[in-house]
């Protein structure tokens, strides 16, 4: 296992999780925890493992990409302590909690397929009649090559809401703490980016690990402005969780 807590400490994480436990609403708990990641550096490729390299469980809180950011936040939401966090991160990141490159959740929709007891797909609930379906062959590029060597291609039907259909009704049905995937038409991928919806009095924000060169950290951006020009969104929602529930 590789651990780099950066500015965090095990004791500090325990304290944050102790306070988070007092927040019953799952989305508000996500908002509370994710707020501690604001201004954390964006760093890509922090995980260890490939088709040629043995996988290790990585906890790198000194820098996150968009997916490790939500991995850490959701694992913390389910945890009462730092030790719980390590166990829950393993369960969330890997199918059947098996730490291997093959079992890692490489795609956003892997999250919902392998973690249905903690997260639900509410795209159709939010998008209603505007929701569209798409059949994707994940990991297979248009030219026939793979995005990830050593990972099998998989056919998956998914739902998304086209950007042009995202209106005030949609915005009202989104909840703070919803995990937002930016749907992409690109062959072989389900989303191009992920983040968290944070509803504030004046607007809805998109909290995410931005890779833009003039940002390169976890920030809050105006949601409507961020999704302009994107293909659509997929919406996952954290479920209520009772501490002490067996995970597997």
Residue 248 is predicted with a pLDDT of 36
- 116 CB neighbour count, 10 Å cutoff: 11
Domain shared by 178 and 193, yes or no: yes
- 243 and 229 in contact (C-beta within 8 Å)? no
Residue 212: per-residue pLDDT:
93
Write the secondary structure of 14-65 as one string of H (helix), E (strand) and C (coil): HHHHHHHCCCCCHHHHHHHHHHCCCCCEECCCCCECCCCCCCECEEECCEEC
Query: Do residues 32 and 89 both lie within one domain?
Result: yes
Mean pLDDT taken over the chain: 94
Which has the higher per-residue pLDDT, 100 or 169?
100
Angle at 59 between CA 180 and CA 204, to 5 degrees: 25
Does residue 78 sit within a domain?
A: yes
Q: Are residues 105 and 123 in the same domain?
A: no
User: Do 98 and 152 belong to one domain?
Assistant: no
The domain of 226 spans 119-238
> Residue 246: inside a domain, yes or no?
no
State the pLDDT confidence band at 247, using cuts at 50, 70 and 90: very low
If one counts the domains in the chain, the total is 2
Per-residue pLDDT at 25: 95
Q: Do 123 and 82 share a structural domain? A: no
The DSSP bridge partners found for residue 220 are 207
Residue 152, Cβ neighbours under 10 Å: how many? 10
| pLDDT tens, position by position, 144-182 | 999 999 999 999 999 999 999 998 888 999 999 999 999
CATH code, domain carrying 97:
1.10.3670.10
Mean pLDDT, residues 64-77 taken together: 97
> Which pLDDT band holds residue 88 (cuts at 50, 70, 90)?
very high
Q: What is the mean pLDDT of residues 195-206?
A: 93
C-alpha to C-alpha distance for 219 and 233, rounded to whole angstroms: 19
Residue 202's pLDDT is what? Answer: 80
pLDDT tens figures, 204-228: 999 999 999 999 999 999 999 999 9
My answer on whether 28 and 75 are in the same domain is yes
Same domain, 146 and 74: no
Cα-based torsion angle of the residue sequence 217, 148, 104, 65 in order, rounded to the nearest 10 degrees: 0
Are residue 101 and residue 126 in the same domain, yes or no?
no
Q: pLDDT band for position 243 (50/70/90)? A: low
Residues 64-89, mean pLDDT to the nearest whole number = 97
159: Cβ contacts below 8 Å, ≥ 6 apart: 121, 123, 124, 127, 131, 132, 133, 134, 234
Look at residues 98, 114, 130 and tell me which one is the last residue of a structural domain.
114
Give the model's pLDDT for residue 242.
63
Q: What mean pLDDT do residues 124-143 have? A: 95
Among 96, 114, 132, the domain-final residue is 114
CATH number at 183 reads 2.30.260.10
Same domain, 76 and 133: no
Residues 133 and 203 in one domain: yes
């Amino acid at each position: 296992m590789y651990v780099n807590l950066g500015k965090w400490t095990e004791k500090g994480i325990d304290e944050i999780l102790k306070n988070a436990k007092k927040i019953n609403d799952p989305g508000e708990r996500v908002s509370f925890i994710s707020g501690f990641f604001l201004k954390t550096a964006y760093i890509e490729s922090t995980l260890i493992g490939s088709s040629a390299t043995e996988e290790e469980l990585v906890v790198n809180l000194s820098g996150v990409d968009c997916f490790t950011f939500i991995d850490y936040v959701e694992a913390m939401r389910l945890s009462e302590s730092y030790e719980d966090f390590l166990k829950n991160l393993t369960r969330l990141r890997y199918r059947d909690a098996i730490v291997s490159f093959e079992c890692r959740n490489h795609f956003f929709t892997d999250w919902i397929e392998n973690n249905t007891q903690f997260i639900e797909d509410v795209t159709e609930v939010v998008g209603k009649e505007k929701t569209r379906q798409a059949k994707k062959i994940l990991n297979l590029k248009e030219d026939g090559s793979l995005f990830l060597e050593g990972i099998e291609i998989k056919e998956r039907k998914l739902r998304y809401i086209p950007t042009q259909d995202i209106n005030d009704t949609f915005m009202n049905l989104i909840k703070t703490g919803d995990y937002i995937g930016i749907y992409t038409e690109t062959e072989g991928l389900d989303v191009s980016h992920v983040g968290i919806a944070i509803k504030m009095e004046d607007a809805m924000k998109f909290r995410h690990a931005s890779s833009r060169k003039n940002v390169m950290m976890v920030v809050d951006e105006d949601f409507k402005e961020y999704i302009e020009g994107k293909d659509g969104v997929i919406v996952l929602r954290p479920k209520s969780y009772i501490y002490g529930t067996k995970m597997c």
